[in-house]
Amino acid sequence: MSLEQNSVEQFVVEGLSCPSCIRKVEGALKENPKVGDARLNLSTQRLSVEWANDNHHDPDDSLLIIDILKKIGFNAYPLREKKNTSDETELKGLLRAIAVAGFAAANVMLLSVSDWFGADMGESTRQLFKWVSALIVLPAAAYAGLPFYRSAWSALRHKRLNMEVPISVAVILACGMSLAQAISGSGETYFDAAIMLLFFLLIGRYLDRKMRASAKSTAQNLVSHQSFFANVLNRDGSITKTMLEHVKIGDSIIVGSGERVPIDGCVIMGKSQIDASLITGETTPEEVCIGSKVYAGTINLGQPIDVKVEHSSGNTTLDEIIHLMENAEQNRAKYVRLADKAAGIYAPLVHLMALLTFLAWFFIAGIGWQSSLITAISVLIITCPCALGLAVPVVQVVASGRLFKAGVLLKSPDGLERLAEIDTVVFDKTGSLTLGTPQVDSFGTAMVKELQIAMTMASRSAHPLSRAFVAFCEAKKISSAEKVEEIEEEAGLGLRAIHEGCEYRLGNRKWCNIGDDHDQVSNHSEIWLVGPNNRTVKFTFKDKLRSDARETIDWFKQNNLDVIILSGDRLPVVMELADHLKVEHYFGEIKPQDKAKKIEELKQQGHKILMVGDGLNDAPALAAANVSISPSTAADISQTASDFVFLPQGLSSLVDAYKISQKSRRLVFTNFGFAALYNLIAVPFAALGFLTPLAAALAMSGSSIVVILNAMRLNLANPVDFGRIKK
Amino acid sequence: MNVLAFLIPVALLMGLGGLISFLWSLKSGQFDDLQGATYRALFEEDDIERDKSE
């Protein structure tokens, strides 16, 4: 690519859904004189911006890009980690190897087929064909086989056997033996088998690596979604937007109404309410005043506050949680992937069989070492794990495509295998079973016209309650009112507007001049609408259950999985919810550390656990569980800690993910079964010396096709639809 | 049999041509964004220019 390394910056862009997005984004950016070139990659959701001024740009320019994109409706974030170039070069190397192997395999097959079927071909022509084959295959195999040779060599140096060892041995021996046959002018050559083997295996390996790389880049994109700038208050009272990396301890920052607190600190001015549900799981907003501590990730619901940054002490809640999470993650690294398990059994077996064949022919049949060696090599060629190399990757690729359609992003390559083994599902409450954001619960005596006016006003505000209200109205198909004029927002209080000459106010009690004695003050958040003649309407908000939480839990229970609720929220709230969902095992008021401990306890009892959670307080538990999933609304750290991220509002994608994992596990095993069956049939023939190059070629491509078709069966399964079941 | 001496090299050269053009397209980044490429094909060259002036 023409883009140079140092003058390019990468961004993650959200909300790319339409084809014209590319044009919009690139067009808007290229307009700016500071931008030299902009290129959007739709597959990775990343944007490369090349600066016009090559040598230098200051960090504020990144904010400029983000602002430009925000104006046209896209959220962008600077890419946190450097682009992983080693992954990309490996993938490209594999593609090149596939191309070379494919070219060689196709051309050699042309020669081989005429050799096998050309009955009236002269001996010298046959010989010519063999030499041409050698000329094509030897360099191609030397190049295309490199990824395998390297891995095999490093395994052998560490005195281990992996899948690459039998592959390398088979390819090298097949080429060597065929060359010897070509020179001596007698016997069969296996050039086509050797290169075809490499071709199929390279495809399998490419798919495997591609999936790992895309899982990794999904993870990186998610990491970048953290809030990345803060509004720093300067001594002279001016405000500068600063990248988070450049904010120093002791700086004062302003957290506006409805904004997320970007960094840990202590309130030095102002009074507000903080929604800390992401950290503690507690849904009732917390009152903060001067001296209160606020944590990164919480949301300021009330008026703007000034916060003094005190992040680096290393003893903050956040640091402690991260530390816990890292500890828990180490245990998980011990998981051995299915393919590696299979290789551990398969590789020694293959070598042993080849050795036995050689010994049997040499000592028992006594046919001389050359002939015995040729038979032994043909055993190696035929047993080579062509189907085995494809068995897992193809299933995984098909499965991750299915997951994506179900709205689930796979973040760790072996997550799918671990998900298939679970027997217990542990749910967090806030944000996992519930939506985690306020939803309109009641709207009193509101008339449609009032709803329309209120919606028009609310749509001008970024406050979480306003947004919830707008979403509610949109769901109810309430259109915005016309002729609502002079809409003004007073941060932390409410909105004011004029409609048909009358003033309307939408906001909290104070804003609407409603005393605490009027209507009871409840635990739930509320906003009021005051219209002409002092008519008041009250809207209350509540954290609601996800629409299909009940069905999802029932489904898991029907399928003999234990369901447990583990929440940091108050016990009565958790109890009510558990009753409603008919979950017998639940725990409330649990600290983050204890959540992880609880998971460890369950694991020690032999349970395999799926943890579903979103809050910071869940992060250690997510890391401790065998496999974990979090919603895309979750705290950044939780998303980092989990293996899957699910996108839509419903929980049914959890069931989908579980079903897909189960099905793909079954398919992997049937694929292993096919591979074993094929060997069971083919090996005796090869060991007895009946193998012909034609049979080898047919067996190899046949078994690969069977394995791929088998994997495609995953696409036949239907996604769950609770709506349909209910009917 | 003389025809073979002509046909085999021709077949090989054609295959090599395909291989080289694939390797070239890989190198020039044409496979970096498969999803985006499907849409980019539909854009007019001057669309972005026109968007600017709007």
- What is the CATH classification number for the domain harbouring A286? 2.70.150.10
pLDDT at residue A724, as a whole number: 43
Q: What is the CATH number of the domain that holds A574?
A: 3.40.50.1000
pLDDT at residue B47, as a whole number: 54
Residues 6+ apart with CB under 8 A from A331: A624
pLDDT at residue A633, as a whole number: 76
Residue owning tokens 């009565």:
A572
- Residue type, position A95, single letter: L
A264-273, A355-364, A483-492, A568-577: segment of lowest average pLDDT = A483-492
**What is the pLDDT confidence band of residue A138, given thresholds at 50, 70 and 90?**
very high
What integer is the mean pLDDT of A418-442? 83
- Whole-number Å distance between alpha carbons of A195 and A144: 9
Contact A193, A174 (CB under 8 A): yes
Both A682 and A706 in one domain: the answer is yes
Q: Which residue of B has its CA nearest to A89?
A: B27
Number of domains, chain A: 5
Nearest to A244 by CA among A84, A62, A8: A62
Using one digit for the tens of pLDDT, what is the confidence trace for A493-525?
788 888 888 888 888 777 777 776 666 655 567
Both A414 and A378 in one domain: the answer is no
Residue owning tokens 């506050």:
A305
Choose the closest CB to A110 out of B11, B16, B39: B11
C-alpha torsion sign, points A544, A547, A551, A553: negative
Residues from chain A contacting residue B25 (CB–CB below 8 Å): none
pLDDT at residue B54, as a whole number: 45
Q: What is the CATH number of the domain that holds A517?
A: 3.40.1110.10
What integer is the mean pLDDT of A468-486? 79
* B12 and A CB contact within 8 Å: yes
Both A532 and A460 in one domain: the answer is yes
- Residue type, position A45, single letter: Q
Nearest to A211 by CA among A422, A395, A445: A395
* B24 and A CB contact within 8 Å: no
Both A50 and A16 in one domain: the answer is yes
- Whole-number Å distance between alpha carbons of A641 and B36: 30
Is A43 in contact with B26 (Cβ distance < 8 A)?
Answer: no
Residue A624 has pLDDT above 90, yes or no: no
Contact A370, A182 (CB under 8 A): no
Both A446 and A532 in one domain: the answer is yes
Both A192 and A119 in one domain: the answer is yes
The encoded tokens of residue A293 equal 């501590």
* B36 and A CB contact within 8 Å: yes
Nearest to A472 by CA among A488, A459, A484: A459
In a domain, A413, yes or no: yes
> Could you give phi then psi for residue A228, rounded to 5 degrees?
-120, -5
Using one digit for the tens of pLDDT, what is the confidence trace for A679-717?
888 888 888 888 787 888 888 888 888 888 888 888 776
C-alpha torsion sign, points A40, A46, A47, A50: negative
- Whole-number Å distance between alpha carbons of A692 and A188: 8
The encoded tokens of residue A204 equal 């399998």
Q: Are strands A76-78 and A35-41 parallel, antiparallel or unpaired?
A: unpaired
Choose the closest CB to B33 out of A27, A43, A128: A43
A410: β partners: A644
Q: Which residue of B has its CA nearest to A92?
A: B26
- Whole-number average pLDDT of chain A: 80
Is A19 in contact with B39 (Cβ distance < 8 A)?
Answer: yes
- Whole-number Å distance between alpha carbons of A493 and A304: 11
Domain range for A646: 407-435+546-662
What integer is the mean pLDDT of A636-646? 81
What integer is the mean pLDDT of A189-217? 86
In a domain, A345, yes or no: yes
- The CA-atom distances, in angstroms, between A58 and each of A70, A238, B2 are 20, 20, 69
Q: What is the CATH number of the domain that holds A54?
A: 3.30.70.100
Residue A398 has pLDDT above 80, yes or no: yes
In a domain, A479, yes or no: yes
Share of chain A above pLDDT 70, in %: 86
Both A362 and A315 in one domain: the answer is no
Using one digit for the tens of pLDDT, what is the confidence trace for A9-31?
888 887 777 777 787 888 888 88
- Whole-number Å distance between alpha carbons of B18 and A287: 69
Residues 6+ apart with CB under 8 A from A388: A163, A342, A343, A346, A672, A675
Length of chain A in terms of residues written: 727
Is B36 in contact with A110 (Cβ distance < 8 A)?
Answer: no
A266-275, A294-303, A419-428, A555-564: segment of lowest average pLDDT = A294-303
* B53 and A CB contact within 8 Å: no
Choose the closest CB to B36 out of A24, A31, A43: A43
* B41 and A CB contact within 8 Å: no
Using one digit for the tens of pLDDT, what is the confidence trace for A272-312?
878 776 666 666 677 788 888 887 767 787 778 888 887 65
Residue B20 has pLDDT above 90, yes or no: yes
Largest CA distance in chain A: 111
Contact A428, A541 (CB under 8 A): no
Q: CA of B38 to nearest chain A CA: how many angstroms apart?
A: 9
Is B16 in contact with A95 (Cβ distance < 8 A)?
Answer: no
The encoded tokens of residue A63 equal 């904010």
- Whole-number Å distance between alpha carbons of B14 and A539: 73
What integer is the mean pLDDT of A580-586? 87
Is A107 in contact with B15 (Cβ distance < 8 A)?
Answer: yes
* Number of A–B residue contacts, CB under 8 Å: 64
Both A531 and A586 in one domain: the answer is no
- The CA-atom distances, in angstroms, between A84 and each of A46, A204, A216, A311, A697 are 13, 22, 9, 29, 38
pLDDT at residue A452, as a whole number: 84
- Neighbour-count burial of A196, counting CB atoms closer than 10 A to its CB (0-12 exposed, 13-18 middle, 19+ buried): buried
Domain boundary among A262, A290, A320: A320
Nearest to A478 by CA among A439, A507, A450, A443: A450
More confidently predicted of A317 and A561? A561
> Could you give phi then psi for residue A593, rounded to 5 degrees?
-60, -40
Nearest to A481 by CA among A459, A458, A449, A507: A449
Residue owning tokens 């430009």:
A68
Nearest to A63 by CA among A203, A227, A206, A271: A227
What integer is the mean pLDDT of A37-41? 83
**What is the pLDDT confidence band of residue A725, given thresholds at 50, 70 and 90?**
very low
In a domain, A217, yes or no: no
- The CA-atom distances, in angstroms, between A477 and each of A247, A290, A446 are 44, 42, 15
- Whole-number Å distance between alpha carbons of A545 and A549: 7
Q: In what order do the strands lie in the sheet with A525-530?
A: A434-442, A536-545, A525-530, A502-507, A494-499, A484-490
Nearest to A27 by CA among B33, B37, B45: B45
In a domain, A246, yes or no: yes
Q: How far is CA A576 from the centre of its chain?
A: 33
Residue A722 has pLDDT above 60, yes or no: no
Of A115, A251, A264, A428, which is the active-site residue? A428
Residues of A with CB under 8 A from a CB of B: 1, 19-20, 22-24, 26-28, 30-31, 40-44, 92, 95-96, 99-100, 103, 106-107, 110-111, 122, 125, 128, 132, 136
Q: Which residue of A has its CA nearest to B18?
A: A103
Using one digit for the tens of pLDDT, what is the confidence trace for A77-112?
877 665 566 778 888 899 999 999 999 999 998 888
Is B23 in contact with A96 (Cβ distance < 8 A)?
Answer: yes
In a domain, A94, yes or no: yes
In a domain, A220, yes or no: no
Q: CA of B11 to nearest chain A CA: how many angstroms apart?
A: 8
The encoded tokens of residue A445 equal 């005596």
Q: Which residue of B has its CA nearest to A25?
A: B48
More confidently predicted of A340 and A360? A360
Domain boundary among A320, A353, A369: A320
pLDDT at residue A414, as a whole number: 81
Residue B27 has pLDDT above 90, yes or no: no
* B22 and A CB contact within 8 Å: yes
- Measured N-to-C along each axis, helices A386-405 and A652-687 cross at an angle, to the nearest 10 degrees, of 170
Residues from chain A contacting residue B36 (CB–CB below 8 Å): 22, 40-43
Both A505 and A364 in one domain: the answer is no
User: Residue A3 in 3-state DSSP?
Assistant: coil
Is B15 in contact with A106 (Cβ distance < 8 A)?
Answer: yes
User: Residue B46 in 3-state DSSP?
Assistant: coil
pLDDT at residue A522, as a whole number: 56
Is B11 in contact with A92 (Cβ distance < 8 A)?
Answer: no
Count of helix runs (H) and strand runs (E) in chain B: 3, 0
Share of chain A above pLDDT 90, in %: 8
Contact A397, A207 (CB under 8 A): yes
* B8 and A CB contact within 8 Å: yes
User: Residue A618 in 3-state DSSP?
Assistant: helix
The encoded tokens of residue A33 equal 């004189």
Contact A338, A654 (CB under 8 A): no
Contact A569, A429 (CB under 8 A): yes
Catalytic residue status for A87: no
pLDDT at residue A2, as a whole number: 41
Both A68 and A33 in one domain: the answer is yes
A240-244, A602-606, A616-620: segment of lowest average pLDDT = A240-244
**What is the pLDDT confidence band of residue A718, given thresholds at 50, 70 and 90?**
low
Residues from chain A contacting residue B28 (CB–CB below 8 Å): 1
Both A471 and A552 in one domain: the answer is no
The encoded tokens of residue A463 equal 């406050």
Which value does ipTM take for this structure?
0.82
Nearest to A526 by CA among A546, A543, A509, A544: A509
The separation between the first and the last C-alpha atoms of chain A, rounded to the nearest angstrom, is: 54
Residues from chain B contacting residue A99 (CB–CB below 8 Å): 19, 22-23, 26
Domain boundary among A83, A101, A128: A83
- Whole-number Å distance between alpha carbons of A195 and A199: 6
Residue A157 has pLDDT above 50, yes or no: yes
Residue A180 has pLDDT above 80, yes or no: yes
Residue owning tokens 């920052």:
A253
- Whole-number Å distance between alpha carbons of A562 and A389: 35
Both A353 and A452 in one domain: the answer is no
- Residue type, position A233, single letter: L
Helix-, strand-, coil-residue percentages of chain A, each rounded to 5: 50, 20, 30
Residues from chain B contacting residue A92 (CB–CB below 8 Å): 26
In a domain, A471, yes or no: yes
* B11 and A CB contact within 8 Å: yes
